Amino acid sequence: MNTKEDFGTPLLSVEDLRISIQQDDHVLHAVDGVEFQIKKGTTLGLVGESGCGKSLTSRSIMQLNPKECETQGQIVYRSEKDKGLQHVNILDLKPTGKMMRSVRGKRISMIFQEPMTALSPLYTIGNQIMENILIHRTKNKKEAKQIALDMLNKVGISNEEKRFNQYPHEFSGGMRQRVMIAMALSCNPELLIADEPTTALDVTIQAQVMELMKDLQKDLEMSILLVTHDLGIIAEMCDEVAVMYLGKIVEKAPVKEIFNNPKHPYTKGLIRSMPKLGGNKNRRLESIEGTVPLAINMSNQCGFYDRCTQRIEGECDKQRVPNYQVNGEHSVRCFLYKNEMEENGHV
Amino acid sequence: MFQYIIRRILLVIPVLICVSMIVFFVIQLPPGDYVTHYAAQMSAQGENMSQAEMDAMRAELNLDKHWVIQYFLWMKGILLEFDFGHSFSYNEPVTSVIDRYMALTLIVSIVTMAFTYLVAIPIGIYTAVRQYSISDYFFSALGFMGMATPNFLLAIVLMYYSYVNFGDPLLGLFSSEFENAPWSWAKIQDLMKHMIIPIIVIGTASTAELTRVMRGQMLDEINKPNVVTARSKGVPESKILIKYPTRAALNPVVSTFGWTLSNIFTGSTITAIVLNLPIQGPVMYNALLGQDMYLAGTWLLFMAVLTVIGTLISDILLAWLDPKIRTEIKGM
C-alpha cells in the first residue's frame, strides 16, 4: 500500500485554522486555532460534542461553509495525482472558481450526515451519481453510467440497473448512505471527508456502512477524515484521533494511545461516559457535568474550565493553555502536564 | 399516468354538476328577476308595464317556475343542444355573446399570465440569490407597492401618462380605425400597442405576489443540504442553481396555476371597465347587474370549469415535476 516514506508527508495539513461568525452584536469564534495533519492512506477521527466546531472545520477543507463564516489560517493540500495541486493552500482558492471545483468531488469528496436531505428528491440516484463523473472523469454518458453502475455494485447495492433509475425516497436510510458513498467515491478521491456518516442510521446498519468504508479505503488507497461524536466508531475506524472542544483541539494521539492513555480531563470524561460491554448494569453511566459555553467574548481561560474536575485555579482561568507534547505523536492542551512535560523536556 | 389523467377527468363531472347547481341557486337568490329589472327600465323611459304584461313575460321566459325546474331546463338545453340559454339584455343566445368576446379575452388573459410568470420567476430567483442586497430591497419595495396599489388606480395613472406623452390614452384594445377592420399586420401591431397598459395593470398584482412566493421558496431551497452536496461534487454554481433550488421551488408555483388562470379572467373586470376593454369582465358585470341570469350563469360555470381544468393541469405538471407524486400515482 504505502511505503514508509510517504507515510511521513501529510496529504493535508491544517494550520492555525480560525473560523469566526459575525452575529448581530458579537463575533462567535467557532474554530479557534485548529491544527492537524492527515497522512496518506490513514484515517483521522475528529471527535467532539455538538457545537465544538468539528463540522465547520471539516467543511472549510472544501470551502463549503456559509458566507457568514470568516475563515483564516492555512489548509495545505498536497495532491499526488494532480500536478496542479501539489502544494496549494485551499483557502487561497476562490470558493466558486475552477480550481476549487477541480478539488471538490475529484480529489476531496464528502459524505454527509443526513442522506435523505443530502440527496435531491427530484432526480434519480443514477443522475446524481453520474453528475460528478461527467464533470471530472468522462464526457461520455454511456461510460459514466457504467462507472456509476460499478460503484453501486461496489457499495453493495444489488440489482443496480434497476436501482440506477430510482429516486432517493425509494431507498432505505442505509441504502441512501451507500448511494452517497458511491457518489463520493466515484471519482477516486484522495481524501474522503465523512461528516457524521452513520449518525442517522440504525446501529446494525452503522456497522455495515463503516465496514464498507474501510474496505473501499483499502481498495482506493485514500485518506479519511471522520467527523463523529461516537467514540465506538473512532475505535473501530481511525488511526489517529483529534479531540475537539470549543473550537480547539485539546488532545491528539494515535487511536490506541487515546484509549489507553488519555491525558486531557475532557478526553478522560468522554471515555468514561462510554457504555462498556459486560460492565455492571446497575452502575450509572458517567457523564460530564454542564454544557459547552458559547464561544463569544472568550477570555484567556481554558474552554473546559467550568466543567473540569481537575482545574487549577489561578492558572487554568488566567492564561491561554499551550500545547504540550506527551511524546512524539501525542499532544495535549492542559496545564496538568506542565511540570511533567517540562521535566521530560517536551514543551 | 394516462389512467390517472382519465380518472381525474371523470372526477371533474360530479364537481361541475355541484358547481352548476350552486351557481344557479346563487344567481336567482337576489330579489326580483329580469322582468322587474326590465319593467324598471321601461318606467324610467316613461312606459309602465302592467302586472299582466309582466306575468305574461315571466311565463314566456319560464321565470314563473321553481328554480329547480328552471335549472333542469337550462341543463337539458346545455347537454342536448349545447344551448346555454338566452341572454335577455342582448336578446340573442348566450353562446353568441360569449363567442364575440372570447378570443380577445383569451388573448389578454394568456399574455398577462405569460407576462406574470416570465417576470416573476426570474426576479424571484434573482432576489433570493442576492438576499438583502440593494436590488433585493428595490424589488421587494416594488413588489409590495404592486400588491397594494389598486388595479384601477394604476390603470388611470398609466392612461394619464400615456395621454400626456403620446397624446393617446390607449383606451380599448384597438384604435378607432382598426375597430371593425379585418385582421392585418397593422391591426395586430395596434393591438399589441394597446395591450401594454392592460397587461401591466392586470398582471402587476399577481406578478408581485408570485415574485414573493418564488423568492421565499428559493431561499428555502438554496440552504438545503442537497445544494451543499452538489457543490461538494464540483458542480458549477449556475448549474446548481437551476438544477436543484429552482426546479424544487417551482412546485408550489405550479400548484397555484389552477386559480391563477381564473383569477386573471375575473380579476381584470374593473380594469377592463376603466380601460374600456372589449373582454368578458364588463359583460359579466352587466349581466349580474341586469339579472341576465343565463348569461351570468354560463359565465360563472365557465369560470368553474376553468378552475377545475387549471387544477388538473397543475396536478399533471406537479406529477411531472415531482417524482414522489409520480410514485404515489403509480401505486394507486
Q: Is the model's pLDDT at B317 over the cut of 80?
A: yes
If you average pLDDT over every residue of chain B, what do you get? 86
Give the span between the Cα atoms of B73 and B61, in whole angstroms.
Answer: 11
Give the span between the Cα atoms of A8 and A78, in whole angstroms.
Answer: 12
DSSP category for residue B46: T
Give the span between the Cα atoms of A264 and B320, in whole angstroms.
Answer: 57
Plot region of B85 (φ>0 → left; ψ -120 to 50 → alpha; else → beta):
left
pLDDT tens-place string over residues B4-37: 888 888 888 898 889 889 988 888 887 777 888 8
Give the amino acid at A135: I
| DSSP per residue, B75-115 | HHHHHHH----EETTTTEEHHHHHHHHHHHHHHHHHHHHHH
Task: Identify the pLDDT of residue A120.
Answer: 94
Q: Do A117 and B231 touch (CB under 8 A)?
A: no
Cβ contacts (< 8 Å) between A103 and chain B: which residues?
234
Shortest CA distance to A248 belongs to which of A157, A197, A322?
Answer: A322
Shortest CA distance to A308 belongs to which of A340, A333, A285, A283?
Answer: A333
A103 touches chain B (CB under 8 A): yes
Task: Identify the pLDDT of residue A203.
Answer: 84
Distance between A229 CA and the closest CA of chain B, angstroms: 20
Chain A: residue whose CA lies nearest to B232? A104
Nearest by CB: A106 against B230, B231, B234: B234
A109 touches chain B (CB under 8 A): yes
Distance between B223 CA and the closest CA of chain A, angstroms: 9
Cβ contacts (< 8 Å) between A110 and chain B: which residues?
229, 232
Chain A: residue whose CA lies nearest to B325? A122
Q: Report the 10 Å Cβ neighbour count for B115.
A: 19
pLDDT tens-place string over residues B97-106: 888 888 888 8
| DSSP per residue, A1-65 | ---HHHHHSEEEEEEEEEEEEEETTEEEEEEEEEEEEEETT-EEEEE--TTSSHHHHHHHTTT-S
Cβ contacts (< 8 Å) between B235 and chain A: which residues?
101, 105, 131-132, 135
Give the span between the Cα atoms of A178 and A119, in whole angstroms.
Answer: 12
pLDDT tens-place string over residues B50-108: 888 888 888 877 788 888 888 888 888 888 888 888 888 888 899 898 888 888 888 88
Kindly report the CATH number that applies to the domain delimited by B101-281. Answer: 1.10.3720.10
Task: Identify the pLDDT of residue A315.
Answer: 82
Strands A108-111 and A191-195: what pairing? parallel
| DSSP per residue, A244-289 | EETTEEEEEEEHHHHHHS--SHHHHHHHHTS--TT--TTSPPP---
Chain B: residue whose CA lies nearest to A103? B234
pLDDT tens-place string over residues B109-152: 888 889 999 999 999 999 999 999 999 999 999 999 988 888 88
Chain B: residue whose CA lies nearest to A193? B232
Q: Do A105 and B247 touch (CB under 8 A)?
A: no
Q: Which residues contact A171 (CB under 8 A, 6 or more apart)?
A: A125, A163, A179
Q: Best of A99, A101, A120 to disrupt the B interface by mutation (most B CBs within 10 Å)?
A: A120
Averaged pLDDT for residues B187-200 = 88
A165 touches chain B (CB under 8 A): no
Nearest by CB: A118 against B229, B234, B323: B229
Distance between B113 CA and the closest CA of chain A, angstroms: 26
CB-facing half-sphere around the CA of A114: CA atoms within 13 A: 11
Q: Do B234 and A102 touch (CB under 8 A)?
A: yes
Q: Do A101 and B236 touch (CB under 8 A)?
A: yes
Cβ contacts (< 8 Å) between A90 and chain B: which residues?
none
pTM for the complete prediction?
0.82
Those residues of chain A that have pLDDT short of 70 are: 1-8, 279, 297-298, 341-347
Q: Which residues contact B146 (CB under 8 A, 6 or more apart)?
A: B204, B205, B207, B208
| DSSP per residue, B266-291 | HHTHHHHHHHT--SHHHHHHHHHHTT
Cβ contacts (< 8 Å) between B243 and chain A: which residues?
123
Averaged pLDDT for residues B306-319 = 85
Cβ contacts (< 8 Å) between B247 and chain A: which residues?
122
Q: Is the model's pLDDT at B255 over the cut of 60?
A: yes
Distance between B267 CA and the closest CA of chain A, angstroms: 34
Give the span between the Cα atoms of A243 and A172, in whole angstroms.
Answer: 32
Task: Identify the pLDDT of residue B267.
Answer: 67
pLDDT tens-place string over residues B238-251: 999 999 999 999 98
Q: Which residues contact B25 (CB under 8 A, 6 or more apart)?
A: B67, B71
Main-chain phi, psi angles of A340, to 5 degrees: -55, -50
Q: Do B232 and A62 touch (CB under 8 A)?
A: yes
For chain B, the domains span 101-281
Give the span between the Cα atoms of A204 and A135, in whole angstroms.
Answer: 35
**Which of the two residues, B314 and A280, has the higher pLDDT score?**
B314
pLDDT tens-place string over residues B269-311: 888 888 888 888 888 888 888 888 888 888 888 888 888 888 8
Q: Do A105 and B233 touch (CB under 8 A)?
A: yes
Q: Do B324 and A121 touch (CB under 8 A)?
A: yes
Q: Best of B131, B217, B229 to disrupt the A interface by mutation (most A CBs within 10 Å)?
A: B229
| Interface A:B, Cβ pairs < 8 A | 76
Chain B: residue whose CA lies nearest to A96? B237
Q: Which residues contact A86 (CB under 8 A, 6 or more apart)?
A: A78, A79
Partnered with residue A36 across adjacent β-strands are A14
Report the share of chain B in percent with pLDDT over 70.
99
Shortest CA distance to B152 belongs to which of B68, B268, B33, B292?
Answer: B268
Q: Do B234 and A135 touch (CB under 8 A)?
A: yes
Main-chain phi, psi angles of B171, to 5 degrees: -70, 155
Cβ contacts (< 8 Å) between A170 and chain B: which residues?
327
Cβ contacts (< 8 Å) between A112 and chain B: which residues?
225, 228-229
Nearest by CB: A114 against B225, B243, B248: B225
Task: Identify the pLDDT of residue A190.
Answer: 93
Averaged pLDDT for residues B215-227 = 93
A82 touches chain B (CB under 8 A): no
